[in-house]
């Protein structure tokens, strides 16, 4: 294994991880901002109010994106094994 191959595998791993995390992080951020604006307008400063909407939003996006995420992870794994067998011969 060459250092370039290890770097390429690491780059692909991080790229795939960020792509898979992005929908859930975006939803959590948007829900947090909306709840934060609501709390600022209504002068309710309770920390636990943001927890349930974020959990519900992230869980909903996770379930909605699960088939796409599984395809993306399967594709990454197949490409990784293909690259490893190609370079290790």
Q: Residue 79 and residue 12: Cα distance in Å, rounded? A: 10
Q: What would the pLDDT profile of 19-70 be if each residue is shown by its tens digit?
A: 999 999 999 999 999 998 998 898 887 878 888 999 999 999 999 999 999 9
Q: Are 23 and 65 in contact (CB under 8 A)?
A: yes
Q: Is 3's pLDDT higher than 90?
A: no
Q: What is the DSSP letter of 46?
A: -
The pTM score is 0.81
Residue ranges per domain, the chain? 10-87
User: With 0-12 CB in 10 A as exposed, 13-18 as middle and 19+ as buried, what is 37?
Assistant: exposed
């Amino acid at each position: 294994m060459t250092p370039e191959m290890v770097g390429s595998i690491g780059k692909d791993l991080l790229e795939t991880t960020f792509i898979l995390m992005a929908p859930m992080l975006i939803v959590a951020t948007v829900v947090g901002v909306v709840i934060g604006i609501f709390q600022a307008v209504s002068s309710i400063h309770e920390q636990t109010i943001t927890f349930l909407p974020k959990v519900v939003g992230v869980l909903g996006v996770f379930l909605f994106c699960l088939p796409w995420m599984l395809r993306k992870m399967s594709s990454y794994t197949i490409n990784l094994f293909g690259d490893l067998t190609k370079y290790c011969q």
